[in-house]
Amino acid sequence: MSTPQVLFAYFAVAMTILSLLVVTRRNPVHSVLWMLVLFIHIAALYLFLNAEFIAAIQIIIYAGAILVLFLFVIMLLNLRKEETEKRFQKQWLYSIAISVLFVFFLVLIVGNITVIPPPGPYTADVIKSEGHIMTVGKVLYSEFLLPFEIASLILLVAIIGAVVLAKKRIE
């Protein structure tokens, strides 16, 4: 195996194990901590796609902002009872069997598909020569103008929603 394959194998296996750790921890704060490690691995995987700006965002937004929000919510709710209660329903064995079957078929089908993407103007070499963040800037603010402005509206809704919901809780 070549170096990139070894590295990819490490990240794939590590991410699967970390995701399992996230969902099986009894203590939600431990889950959050594993999720932090998971996010750092995801960011590293973006680097292999030559997308360093996305990797930075993965950490700044997901690890730095959204996960902190999760922590605050967990601490706000103070989940003492949930930690000791039974966590799985009776049919967990069946669901695992079905999931394994599903993954088996998925591998069978997806493994047979060959995708040949058309070469676009933003090849790996172009991105490397001017830097990923510059390419994102140039493309996002010229070709994808409308989605960008719509994003601002979505953020506006999020701001107002956050305050309205929280205000209800206070009163």
Partner 1 sequence: MCIKNSNMSETFVPSDYFPVVIFFIFALLIGFGTLLLGVVLRPKRPYTQKLYPYESGNPPVGEPRYKFSVKFYIIAMLFVVFDVEAVFLYPWAVAYNKLGIFGFAEMMLFVFILLIGYIYVWKKGAFDWE
Partner 2 sequence: MTGVEMLIIVIKTVIVVSVFMLHVMYAQYFERKVIAHMQARLGPMRVGWHGILQPIADSLKLFLKEDIIPSSADRPIFYVAPIIGVIAALSSLAVIPLWEGLGVANLNIGILYILALSSVGSYCVILGGWASNSKYSFLGGLRSSAQVISYEIAMGLSLVGVMMMAGSANLSDIVKAQSGHWFIWYQPLACFVFVMSAIAETNRAPFDLTEAETELVAGFATEYSGMRWALFFMAEYAGMFIMTALGTICFLGGWNGPDFWIFAYVPKIVWLVLKIYGCIFIYFWIRATLPRYRYDQLMSIGWKIFIPLSLANIVVTGLVKIIWK
Binding residues vs partner 1 (CB under 8 A): 2-4, 7, 44, 47-50, 52-53, 57, 60-61, 64-66, 68-69, 72-73, 75-76, 78, 110-111, 113-117, 119, 123-125, 131, 133-134, 136-138, 140-142, 145, 148-149, 151-153, 155-156, 158-160, 162-163, 166-167, 169-170
Give the CA distances from residue 75 to residues 25, 79, 87, 144, in Å, rounded to whole numbers and listed in that order: 16, 8, 20, 39
Q: How many CB atoms lie within 10 A of CB 108?
A: 9
- Give, as one character, the DSSP assignment of residue 151: H
Q: How far is the CB of 100 from partner 1 (least distance, A)?
A: 19
- Residue 59 interacts, among partner 2, partner 1, none and using kind-specific CB cut-offs from 5 to 8 Å, with partner 2
The answer to whether 61 and 21 have CB atoms below 8 angstroms apart is no
CA distance 98 to 103: 9
Q: Which is nearer to partner 1, 92 or 148 (CB)?
A: 148
Ordered DSSP codes for 70-86: HHHHHHHHT-HHHHHS-
Q: How far is the CB of 32 from partner 2 (least distance, A)?
A: 9
- Residue 136 interacts, among partner 1, partner 2, none and using kind-specific CB cut-offs from 5 to 8 Å, with partner 1
The most distant pair of C-alpha atoms in the chain lies apart, rounded to whole Å, by: 61
Query: Binding residues for partner 2, per CB under 8 A?
Result: 27, 29-30, 33, 36, 40, 52-53, 55-57, 59-60, 63-65, 68, 71-72, 75, 131-134
